[in-house]
Chain A
Amino acid sequence: MRHLGAIAGRELRSYFVSPMAYAVLAVFSLLAGFFLVMQVLSFNAAIAYLEQTQQLETLDRFNLNEVVVYGYYHVIWIVLLLLVPGLTMGLFSNEKANGTEELLLTSPITIWELVLGKYLAAGAMVTLLIAVVAGFIGILFAYGDPEPLQTAAGLLGLWLLALTYAAIGAFTSSMTPSPLVAFVFSVLVLLMLFFLGFAVDVGMGAQAGGAGADGLLENLRWISSDGHFDELTRGLVDTRSLAYFGFMIGVFLLLTKASVESVRWR
């Protein structure tokens, strides 16, 4: 693994000479800030309304964590789903397009060094995105008093989600010499994963009167990231959800490795 640093370092530097990384960072910061303001404003409006109409019981249950932070994290989820593929689309496709794949595959490095080095760089970039979210959330602590642990668990959830998306993006990037195709393809995969959760919920709802949850539906539900992420945003740090993200990252990095290597077998 001694080439890891060289590969990750080159990748990171190439992020910051291309306008793409700046564009993704700027758009992300803008959206993250905008949605936070929206969340807070609608929260304030709702509180004012509840006070006015003397719904004290509801007002009691209406807190910063449940409404603002939880809702905010779910909006950021969608933003990540659309922007992380922008960060990963060039990882391998650019090497194919440049012809530098030939340099890499004829150098005394292993495919794992290549895949992990690139993933490390992409991981650093998505960590930067999550740091932006953490910064905005920090502002909330000045404004009110969100529950620190639940807030942190949710951030962890976002980070794991983004890392999972980066692994999926790395995989799609390894399948095509076109970054654009890689981008579209990974957004499609991520959307499928996203809607899988809802589809399963609907399926389960339809079955609810019957014999209970079907094994297949349970499995599909597990594969979809929704439930695991949701648990984390509620402050439940369960090893099962952590294992889920680890599993997904592992599977997609393995697929990426196989895909990069497949040039050799074609």
Chain B
Amino acid sequence: MIEAQGISKRYGDFVAVDNLSFEAEAGDVVGFLGPNGAGKTTTMRILTGFMPATDGTAVIGGYDIHEAPLDARRAVGYLPESPPVYPEMDVRGYLVYVSKLKDVPRAKRREAVDRAMERCGLTEVHRRPIGALSKGYRQRVGIAQAIVHEPRVLILDEPTVGLDPNQILEIRELLARLARSDEGGTARTIVLSTHILAEVDAICRRVILIRDGRKVLDQPLEQIRSEQGSLEQAFARLTLGAEAPPAASLTASGSEDGE
């Protein structure tokens, strides 16, 4: 579903992503981790076609992001770091608009929008202007726009930031269902970035860890647990250097305020 082939991104002399390759299959839920500034958002922006890679390419749903950008983008649902919403639009109007942009056929739009709202717990606020919603609800709208066209690949940049604990659980369950085939027929590929390692523990099957734009770990979660002790320890060891500090201090500071 996703095949990243040696992606690099340079801003002038600064290398934000350095020769990154990985693969993800249908049904995979990949946690994309790394400290602040590691290049997670940059990589996601390249995969979703927001900007091209300086070097390398990726194939998404069978389409090369540089050769067939429109087809590749159609196969992807993307939640950027901050939800891309128009404050003056109401929730339903916004999702209808997104479904048009994403080529949902006219006859299926209403159903698609209703389903996305239901899945994200937005049905009650469907006529409210998005600007009048709380931060968490705006985040839900962001997730709803990412799934409204039933994409086979979901790329989510810190999807649970700003959500309340109940909603975090609901979104985690939703993501797990979306990854399996029981919601909407086909299994999906999900790549999500987060700083909440407990979230990775809860829903991801695999972890890709990057640091300074370079991949430093790409393993199934079970293997990480058995070989490195815990995800926290692996994260600390691989992103802080050789000596691992007490893992607890890192998770405490790393679990909140990603920005």
Question: Taking beta carbons and an 8 Å cutoff, which residues of A are in contact with B?
Answer: 3, 6-7, 10, 13-14, 17-18, 98-110, 263-266
Contact = CB atoms under 8 A, between A and B. Distances in A.
B48 A106 contact: yes
Contacts of A263: 50-51
B80 A99 contact: yes
A106 B86 contact: no
Contacts of B88: 14, 17-18
Contacts of B240: none
A3 B100 contact: yes
Given A14-B89, A99-B83, A264-B50, A108 B78 contact: no
A14 B50 CA distance: 24
B39 interface: no
A98 B87 contact: yes
B82 A107 contact: no
Contacts of B78: 102-103, 106
B52 A100 contact: no
A124 B195 CA distance: 46
Interface in B115-173: 145
A14 B102 CA distance: 20
B242 interface: no
A103 B87 contact: no
A145 B94 CA distance: 50
B236 interface: no
Interface of B: 11, 45, 48-52, 70-71, 73-74, 76, 78, 80, 82-89, 93, 97-98, 100-103, 145
Closest 5 CB pairs of A and B: A103-B84, A6-B100, A107-B101, A108-B74, A106-B48
B101 A6 contact: yes
A98 B101 contact: no
Given A13-B89, A102-B45, A103-B84, 17 more contacts: A14-B88, A17-B88, A18-B88, A98-B87, A103-B80, A106-B48, A106-B49, A106-B50, A106-B80, A107-B102, A108-B71, A108-B74, A109-B101, A110-B70, A265-B52, A266-B11, A266-B51
17 contacts: A10-B86, A10-B97, A14-B88, A98-B86, A99-B83, A99-B84, A100-B84, A102-B80, A103-B145, A104-B101, A105-B49, A106-B48, A107-B98, A107-B101, A108-B101, A109-B70, A109-B101
A107 B49 CA distance: 8
Most B CB contacts (10 A, CB to CB) among A99, A100, A101, A265 go to A100
Nearest to A104: B101
Most A CB contacts (10 A, CB to CB) among B48, B52, B86 go to B86
A166 B122 CA distance: 37
Contacts of A103: 78, 80, 84, 98, 101, 145
Contacts of A98: 84-87
A6 B96 CA distance: 10
A103 B95 CA distance: 12
A6 B51 contact: no
A13 B74 CA distance: 25
B70 A105 contact: no
A103 B50 CA distance: 9
A10 B94 CA distance: 9
A100 B50 contact: no
Contacts of B52: 264-265
Contacts of A100: 84-86
Nearest to A16: B88
B80 to A, nearest CB: 4
Most A CB contacts (10 A, CB to CB) among B51, B82, B101 go to B101
Nearest to B49: A106
A102 to B, nearest CB: 4
Nearest to B101: A107
